[in-house]
Homo-oligomer: A and B are copies of this chain.
């Protein structure tokens, strides 16, 4: 461990994992905290928290307001829980324009209504000019588990089918394009959206696991599953939906879309028995129109679970977990 915090410690990749495992968990050793879900399961409730430090605050397809509600809702929804209540903690920099705060609040309001979550408590702190970055929003959410058989790592079995509800990488690509750093003006909008009530429509089926692939993208989510279960995951490169603008941006900047953040996607594992019905139900919802089966869970070939990508020409490559510093930095 280094002596000071580095940007990579916040990137959501390997360095973040090491900070959490070696430092945070050495002090805060609750068995629930150790489960490494993005929300804590407590009796019939789930509880989640996330801080939003995105730049720019407004981007094609959304803003920090829509992002913070969607992020909170999605962390609850993928636990098979109906999002019930959330809190908002604002850390605002002195001098921040009230007009921008209005836009953000309007967006929070609309996204909360869309998902059915209620904002019931909040807090505001103002920090001196130069000691913040416009606005940071910390959100926590409480949900009520409504899936009869709640999804989770322990329910994953060999043969499970891996699905995703549409094109990947849109959020990260929209942020990169909105920054204009590379002189790019890609016609790409963030996919940021609350995944409930979309995921509620699947509550009667045998969904074994769900996770929203945000920081670190689909590669991060699949590697977490492989590590937690010890099983191999095999995905087909050509099965993964990637839109043309995202593909173009990746080719230009040397990114792999599998590592790009999403904010309206779910990686879903289903028993082979229910996978067909699940895919059909997903395709009938606006948020799942481009749903695809992207792979399968296989028996492990080695001591540890791995993620294998079958390429267009039939060869296989290993999909590694994201490195420490995730590129592009989007939070």
| Residues of A bordering B, CB below 8 Å | 1-11, 16, 19-20, 23-24, 26-28, 30, 32-33, 38-40, 42, 45, 47-51, 53, 84-85, 87-99, 101-102, 105-106, 108-109, 112, 118-128, 130-133, 136, 138, 140, 142, 331
Q: CB distance B87 to A48 under 8 Å?
A: yes
How far is B127's CA from A176's CA once the two chains are assembled, in angstroms? 17
Indicate the member of A7, A48, A106, A138 with the most B CB atoms within 10 Å. A138
Contact B47 A89 (CB under 8 A): no
Q: A51-B91, A123-B50 are in contact. Are A28 and B109 (CB under 8 A)?
A: yes
Q: Is the CB of B108 within 8 A of A3?
A: no
By the criterion CB–CB under 8 Å, are B119 and A53 in contact? no
Beyond A49-B138, A331-B125, whether A10 also contacts B88 by CB under 8 A is no
Q: How far is the CA of A4 from the CA of B96 in the complex (A)?
A: 5
Chain B residues within 8 Å of A27, by CB: 102, 105-106, 108-109
Provide the residues of chain B in CB contact with A88, threshold 8 Å. 28, 49
Instruction: Given A49-B88, A136-B136, check contact A9 B121 (CB 8 Å).
Output: no
Q: List 7 A-B contacts (CB under 8 A).
A: A5-B92, A24-B124, A30-B118, A48-B121, A91-B136, A132-B133, A136-B136
Residue numbers in B under 8 Å from A125 (CB-CB): 10, 51, 53, 331
Is the Cβ of A122 less than 8 Å from the Cβ of B49? yes
Beyond A10-B127, A130-B130, list 12 extra A-B contacts (CB 8 Å).
A5-B93, A9-B92, A9-B126, A19-B124, A23-B101, A28-B119, A30-B119, A42-B120, A49-B123, A51-B125, A89-B89, A132-B133
Query: Could you tell me the distance in whole angstroms from the C-beta of A306 to the nearest C-beta in chain B?
Result: 27
Contacts of A11 in B (CB 8 A): 126
